[in-house]
Amino acid sequence: MHLVLFVFLTILTQVGGIIYLIALFATLKAKKLRIFKRAVIFILLYCICCLFLIPRIALYFGREKIETTDHLQAYSIFYILANRDYVKPELKLALQEIGLGLSKNYPDLTVVYLDANFPFFDGFPLLPHLSHNDGKKIDLAFIYADENGKVSNEKPSRSGYGIYETPADGERDQTKICKEQGYWQYDFTKYVSFGKRNSQLTLSDEATRKLISLILNQKQTSKLFLEPHLVDRMNLSHPKIRFHGCRAVRHDDHIHFQVR
């Protein structure tokens, strides 16, 4: 069970497995300590490390924790607590500028990020995103509007992934194409949405398009991934917009971008 927890916590948070082992060895002699108390000790140790220690050590690895501002926030506290919000300084700067740019057009809107990178080691992937392993990649949420067309920071997925803007009739169905070629994993994020909320929301093409143009205008931005039918629907054309390939997962539930 210890091994399973170690692997699970490492995949989820990178450092959780190590902190679990430290908490385990620290309480080894206190055999009478109940599981509940051991869990409390682990959680306390984990929170202290993640809040005070890891952001400082990450600087030596060239990565910084994203700071929440009026214009930039995580999709949920999970991304912050699980250390999935570390980026290179140039990406952090780009995010701040994108947030500021969006607020000039939409004062009530905030740029909402999903998975970024872990704090340590180039090459250590942030699963399930194999490429989020160098501090240069991040996923952003789309912007949605309610039934009256008013844009807001509300989102339809509980996790941030897996609620798709599916192709309409006549639009390119890339998921079908990839799955027919045997890439079964292309839409596996449907299993990690943890349910739909705010079912009245629809994608705001206009506000999401503005967000995308702000990303593309950053000189540090090297690539942006978006599902082909949304690229066509939003009438987007830019050399930095690429198709991510069938080996990745579908990108009609979020925007992925990366810096040089």
Shortest distance in whole angstroms from residue 80 CB to Zn ion: 17
Shortest distance in whole angstroms from residue 137 CB to Zn ion: 5
Kindly tell me which of 66 and 145 has the beta carbon lying closer to Zn ion.
66
Which x/- pattern, by CB under 5 A, does the window 97-136 give for Zn ion? Answer: --------------------------------x-------
Q: Could you tell me which residues are beta bridge partners of residue 74? A: 113
Kindly tell me which of 126 and 201 has the beta carbon lying closer to Zn ion.
126
Kindly tell me which of 210 and 254 has the beta carbon lying closer to Zn ion.
254
* Sheet of 221-225, strand order: 72-74, 111-113, 137-140, 255-259, 221-225, 241-242
If one asks whether residue 210 binds Zn ion (CB under 5 A), the answer comes out as no
Q: Which residue has the tokens 């214009």?
A: 71
> CB nearest Zn ion: which residue?
256
Q: What DSSP state is assigned to residue 58?
A: H
Shortest distance in whole angstroms from residue 147 CB to Zn ion: 30
Shortest distance in whole angstroms from residue 129 CB to Zn ion: 5
If one asks whether residue 139 binds Zn ion (CB under 5 A), the answer comes out as yes
Kindly tell me which of 71 and 256 has the beta carbon lying closer to Zn ion.
256
Shortest distance in whole angstroms from residue 122 CB to Zn ion: 16
Distances (CA, A) of 243 to 135, 146, 228, 251: 21, 29, 7, 9
Rg value, the chain, Cα:
20
- Dist. CA 46–CA 13, nearest whole Å: 10
Among 71, 88, 210, 256, binds Zn ion (CB under 5 A): 256
Q: What DSSP state is assigned to residue 224?
A: E
Kindly tell me which of 92 and 129 has the beta carbon lying closer to Zn ion.
129
Kindly tell me which of 65 and 256 has the beta carbon lying closer to Zn ion.
256
The answer to whether the CB of 221 falls within 8 A of the CB of 94 is yes
- Among the listed residues 43, 76, 102, 56, the one whose alpha carbon sits nearest the alpha carbon of residue 160: 76
Encoding tokens for residue 145?
């509007």
**Interface contacts to Zn ion, rule CB under 5 A:** 129, 139, 256
